[in-house]
Amino acid sequence: MSVPMFIETGEAHVSKFGEILCGDSLSVGSVNGGRLMVLSDGLGSGVKANILATLTTTIATRLMERGLPLEEVVDTLTDTLPECQVRKIAYSTFTLLKVQGDGRAYLAEFDNPPTFFLKRGYVSRLEYKDRIIGTRTIREAHVHVGPGDWFVTVSDGEIHAGIGGLLNLGWDWEKIAKFLETQVHEDISAQKVAQILVNQANELYQDRPGDDTTAGVLKIRAKRFANFMIGPPVKPEEDAAIAQRFLELPGRKVISGGSTAGILAKILHKDVVVDLSTMTDKIPPTGHLEGIDLVTEGVHTVNSCRTILMNIKDIEELSGKRDGASRLAWEFLHADSINIFLGQAINPAHLNPKMPQEMGFKSRSVQAIVNLLKERGKEVNLEVH
Amino acid sequence: MTVITVCVGSACHLKGSHQIIEYFKKAIEESRLEKEVELKGTFCMEKCTDGANLLIGEELFHANSPEDAREIFEREILRKRK
């Protein structure tokens, strides 16, 4: 069986110097367990370019999501886009990129720079065929992709970066290709690559970009799975069977709560060792258990993790943090698909009227985390035992 | 070597196990017992209703504050050494 694939996306923009709105638009959609990316560079700059480009990407994305053929997409764009009063044409460029869950990829480009395709770390040329639709010549390519492959698509603002200034002829496609080969590796995110490309262009423009500049990145990689178990099942006789099934799932294993750790330790015939150095005044320490990637305390860690997930923008904010809540949040954000086993057995100590109410809110916090992760586009499967 | 094991589970955390651990760390250092007393953590001992749990060797104690912990440390560690 082949490894399940995941397509990660990233995008970054910088506007032409003096403009507030970017005249490029990039849109990401979903299709057949895969991804769709559409880039358009609107005619001119500022508001008008922004509207043209946004119309183009929105229309193309919606039509492609419904599976319409390229001809229909191009015709619809020609018929719908407003005509430029100065130039008397209804025009904007586009790049349509579709990668399906089975690895089939399709690319159509009109008047945008050729998309960079990286395989095993090197840019390789795509075999394009020209297709004429109406008065337009569109380049098309089909290719089969797998984990480790990247698509990087840019507007001409990237290609021209530095023109007439730091670089006589601008950054140039070939030079960007070489640059990409030095930047792209397995552990870098699609978003980071997009940001690096745009930042580099902005530097070449000496912070005064001569054109709207955009980079859109698709990173094809193995799908990441995480499995999270918190709380023992209501029926203690189910402990072993549920824990066994949890252990057999593919991907990383994370457990929270003392009793849960105890159940897993028994099955694995290992001891839980607490690492006191990870303790903070709010968050109890994490533990080690051979065969499990992360062991944390239950309710306090999960509550803090929920607060982190409500506020965090980028997973990199968690780098170097060792407390249980940050590491739990990292596991959730790093994964694409998360299975959560929530056990609802009641710990008698938590019913003590002297205990703060939040002790009883574990299930509610887990539900809130499920929602936060779904909002971030994660696949989440919650099982309650 | 004597081992002090403090529970860091949810309930004991609320009852101050963090401060109790901090106290023991300091107390061990100040009495220069690093070579004789080791401090460890453990998750739930399933005696959650009785206050922050700790073991000295195999014997179970409860502490509700660093004050309690100091009393236990003096009685069970310092006096028993002499």
- B48 and chain A in contact, CB less than 8 A: yes
Residue of chain A whose alpha carbon sits nearest to that of B47: A349
Residue of chain A whose alpha carbon sits nearest to that of B48: A349
- Same domain flag for A121 and A196: yes
Question: Mean pLDDT throughout A217-239?
Answer: 93
Between chains, do B14 and A355 touch, taking CB under 8 Å as contact? yes
Distance (Å) of CA A111 to CA A51, A143, A333, B32: 18, 20, 37, 76
- Same domain flag for A250 and A353: yes
Confidence of residue B82 (pLDDT cuts 50, 70, 90): low
Q: Which residues of chain A have a CB within 8 Å of the CB of B9?
A: 257-258, 284, 297-298
Strands, DSSP E only, in chain A? 5-14, 24-31, 34-41, 94-99, 104-110, 116-119, 122-124, 129-133, 136-144, 150-154, 213-222, 225-230, 252-256, 273-275, 286-289, 292-296, 337-342, 379-384
- Same domain flag for A174 and A53: yes
How close A300 gets to chain B, by Cα (Å)? 7
Q: Which residues of chain A have a CB within 8 Å of the CB of B49?
A: 348-349, 352
The residue written with tokens 């019913």 in the block is A351
- Same domain flag for A304 and A372: yes
Mean pLDDT score of chain A, rounded to an integer? 90
What number of residues does chain A have?
Answer: 385
Confidence of residue A1 (pLDDT cuts 50, 70, 90): very low
- Same domain flag for A195 and A322: no
DSSP character at residue A236: G
- pLDDT, tens only, A37-79: 999 998 878 888 899 899 999 999 999 999 898 888 888 887 7
End position of a domain, from candidates A222, A254, A281: A222
**Among B8, B48, B49, beta carbon nearest to A284:** B8
Comparing A91 with A329, the larger pLDDT belongs to: A329
* A5-14: strand order across its sheet: A5-14, A213-222, A150-154, A116-119, A122-124
Comparing A33 with A90, the larger pLDDT belongs to: A33
End position of a domain, from candidates A207, A222, A237: A222
- Same domain flag for A237 and A137: no
Which of A347, A362, A363 to mutate: most B Cβ within 10 Å? A347
Amino acid of residue A64: M
CATH of the domain at B28: 3.40.30.10
What percentage of residues in chain A have a pLDDT greater than 70?
94
End position of a domain, from candidates A222, A250, A282: A222
Distance (Å) of CA B75 to CA B12, B33, B79: 22, 15, 5
How close B74 gets to chain A, by Cα (Å)? 22
> What is the secondary structure of A185-202 as a DSSP string?
-TTS-HHHHHHHHHHHHH
- Same domain flag for A232 and A208: no
Range of the domain at A349: 225-384
Do A111 and A153 form a contact (C-beta atoms < 8 A)? no
- Same domain flag for A234 and A216: no
Q: Give yes or no for residue A22 having a pLDDT over 80.
A: yes
Range of the domain at B24: 2-81
Could you say which residues from 229 to 258 on chain A have a Cβ atom under 8 Å away from some Cβ of chain B?
Answer: 257-258
- pLDDT, tens only, A262-318: 999 999 999 999 999 999 988 999 999 999 999 999 899 999 999 999 999 888 899
- Same domain flag for A107 and A85: yes
- pLDDT, tens only, A325-346: 999 999 999 999 999 999 988 7
- Same domain flag for A190 and A239: no
- B3 and chain A in contact, CB less than 8 A: no
CA distance A172 to A162: 10
**Among A287, A299, A350, beta carbon nearest to B43:** A287
CA distance A186 to A123: 15
- pLDDT, tens only, A346-379: 776 666 666 665 566 788 899 999 999 999 989 9
CA distance A236 to A232: 7
For chain A, the domain total comes to: 2
Residue of chain B whose alpha carbon sits nearest to that of A299: B10
Between chains, do A257 and B44 touch, taking CB under 8 Å as contact? yes
CA distance A56 to A80: 9
Among A166, A197, A195, which residue's Cα sits nearest to residue A181? Answer: A197
- A284 and chain B in contact, CB less than 8 A: yes
A2: left (phi over 0), alpha (psi -120 to 50) or beta: beta
Two tokens, residue A77: 């764009």
- B21 and chain A in contact, CB less than 8 A: yes
- B9 and chain A in contact, CB less than 8 A: yes
CA distance A8 to A281: 36
DSSP character at residue B48: G
What's the start-to-end Cα distance of chain B, in Å? Answer: 15
- A355 and chain B in contact, CB less than 8 A: yes
- B11 and chain A in contact, CB less than 8 A: yes
Question: Mean pLDDT throughout A203-209?
Answer: 91
Comparing A87 with A259, the larger pLDDT belongs to: A259
Two tokens, residue A105: 């990829």
For chain B, the domain total comes to: 1
**Among A279, A355, A356, beta carbon nearest to B18:** A279
State whether residue A123 is helix, strand or coil: strand
Q: Which residues of chain A have a CB within 8 Å of the CB of B13?
A: 284, 297, 300
Among A379, A383, A347, A377, which residue's Cα sits nearest to residue A362? Answer: A347
- Same domain flag for A19 and A30: yes
- Same domain flag for A239 and A111: no
Which of B3, B5, B8 to mutate: most A Cβ within 10 Å? B8
CATH of the domain at A113: 3.60.40.10
CA distance A52 to A42: 5
Q: What's residue A78's pLDDT?
A: 77
Mean pLDDT score of chain B, rounded to an integer? 88
